[in-house]
Structure 1
């Protein structure tokens, strides 16, 4: 019996393999060989395939993802990081007008815009706020020395009342971190005559009033919705000032406006 020749040592087989290798190298071209040997940014020309795992640069041409709506929803996912990364651009708000439906843009002000049928801004903590209801909390009562603890500036009279023309600053930093605004009720009581109370955030006193009363001995309340301001190291303050007559003041807080609920430090213990 004649032993069979080992195929690895078959001269005809070796000639075929060398020929196949030569044809493959010639068809691929030097550019492909260089790309394999020197990995880098894939410069895909418009119309070329998108290569996963590389950086694809289409230049100024638009890149479109086409999805068959009859199939499963389009899902972009990166298990090693965030699913989608949007880099802020130099677009202005005016530039978003006329965008095609489905377009998403980030403006130079940090706002994120999604073009639907009528267009609209995406809710983000960069510019939007949310109102977080909190348990009704008394944050100031000038009749009670223990409830004056949040006053960080200004002086009261000998009876603990606001003095006409003397502003006092109420810090709410124990309840909220960098709050935007507060909702609640403000009450005046124990006044000696007609007067006015103004409550605002910080800075110059506005001309508007929060509560007005005409006689002494009145107990009068009003809804309070005021912007919070900053004073020294305190970042969430209210300023209160009486006019015409001294008065005791009570402030009850029911809601805080913030960029994110995590800024609210007051928790419901119920």
Structure 2
């Protein structure tokens, strides 16, 4: 959390620059499609995060998190990422491009280290547009965006602004996501339910309303026919013995349908 300015000496502070970049951090983000779409189908897309395997001069060996396949990519096409949100050497325009990719919502953010001078950082946040905030530093090495709040390290700053906007355009929600990462609820979203077109009840054969045998092309679902049959049996309009539901011999049709393909073909299933 934030702290009011204090006069701690530099000896009492932590060297945050070294602590930010530990040996466990071996992620990179793709800054532009590679190869270029003008040359061939890209192997890696802008915004995709990769595992860094080895740095070999101009070429870096990386592994796709999704496919686990390894390949080489020019180091000019990637930037190192620490803690999921600290992007090394990413300029303002590139930060805006990354945060504008699909999968990023309001509050998505990244901290970018200056390309000109090490130890200088900016916070980029997606809102109605991408907002940028200069992260300043005191003589005692504490960080701040607003002078009334200082933080001993960038992690403390990010944690604070995740809890409350406290002067920012909005509270921080999640680090900048990969362009190929689906939204959290997309994989679990229920398929759309399509209502079957209306039909004229007057044209329905009355036998279909009570028959539990005709399942092939019946316009009325198995459950509805059973309900009608039960009602008629209790009202005395028909012999109850004749209305006893027969065992289902095959799947019946339903009043609802799920789209099967993009050609307008619909397969009606019993829900």
| TM-score normalized by the length of structure 2 | 0.26
RCO higher in 1 or 2 (8 Å CA, sep ≥ 6)? Answer: 1
Please identify which structure carries the higher helix content. Answer: 2
Please identify which structure carries the higher strand content. Answer: 1
